[in-house]
Amino acid sequence: MRKIIPEKELKILRKLSTPAKIQDFLDTLKINFEEKGDTSLPPIMVLKKRICHCTEGAVLAALALRVHGQEPLLLDLTANRHDFDHVVALFKKDGKWGAISKTNHAALRYREPIYNSIRELAMSYFHEYIDDKGRKNLRSYSPPVNLKRFDKFGWMTTREEIDYIPEYLAEVKHFPMLNRKQIRNLRRSDEIEIQAGKIVEWKKRGK
């Protein structure tokens, strides 16, 4: 598998030998605001342009994990109509789950490998997944999606858009986090939580 990745990009990926190093590298990349329309940049183009949004960053992280012998797994987190979905790369250490996350948000970030299940990990994002009105919007999560299923499309080496990955994530079965009663009883977040949720790492040009 390593032989099919261009040497320049492979050299970068070889240095990203732990989930923490992968996360540190993702944090150096600018956030992709998709100012010219939706994108699904493949890992090779993310490394070239040094820009990505959450799904693009998660796919790159999954590739880096694969280079170092781990499964290339993604987790899709879905929100209600008031918010955006989020995608992270999954990894396992000593039997526990962790996540690598590219985000512009202050809290929807890296997760240490301390979670016993995918549900536990997914729920760790729940209370910080709020909007400007204090609504808690996270609703469901997918099973781990192994990107090996897309090997036939050449996702690891292509320079073309990889729309089929986010399309699959949108269609795959998801598990609800809450029942209807729990949703009805949700308390709005405090003003200090709302303000904390507005902290961003990267600002759009002109703002």
What is the tens place of the pLDDT at every residue in 80-95? 999 999 999 999 999 9
Report the percentage of the chain scoring pLDDT > 90: 95
Mean predicted confidence (pLDDT) in 5-26: 96
Q: How confident is the model at residue 205 (pLDDT cuts 50, 70, 90)?
A: confident
Give pLDDT, residue 38: 96
Whether 205 is covered by a domain: the verdict is no
Mean predicted confidence (pLDDT) in 167-184: 98
What's the mean per-residue pLDDT of the chain?
Answer: 96
Tell me the CATH number at 18: 3.10.620
What's the number of domains the chain is made of? Answer: 1
Q: How confident is the model at residue 53 (pLDDT cuts 50, 70, 90)?
A: very high
Whether 206 is covered by a domain: the verdict is no
Mean predicted confidence (pLDDT) in 166-186: 98
Whether 143 is covered by a domain: the verdict is yes
Mean predicted confidence (pLDDT) in 136-156: 98
Torsion of CA 119, 120, 123, 125, to 10 degrees: -120
Whether 126 is covered by a domain: the verdict is yes
Whether 122 is covered by a domain: the verdict is yes
Whether 202 is covered by a domain: the verdict is no
Q: How confident is the model at residue 1 (pLDDT cuts 50, 70, 90)?
A: low
Mean predicted confidence (pLDDT) in 177-200: 96
Query: Is pLDDT above 70 for 207?
Result: no
In which domain, by residue range, is 116 found? 2-197
Whether 56 is covered by a domain: the verdict is yes
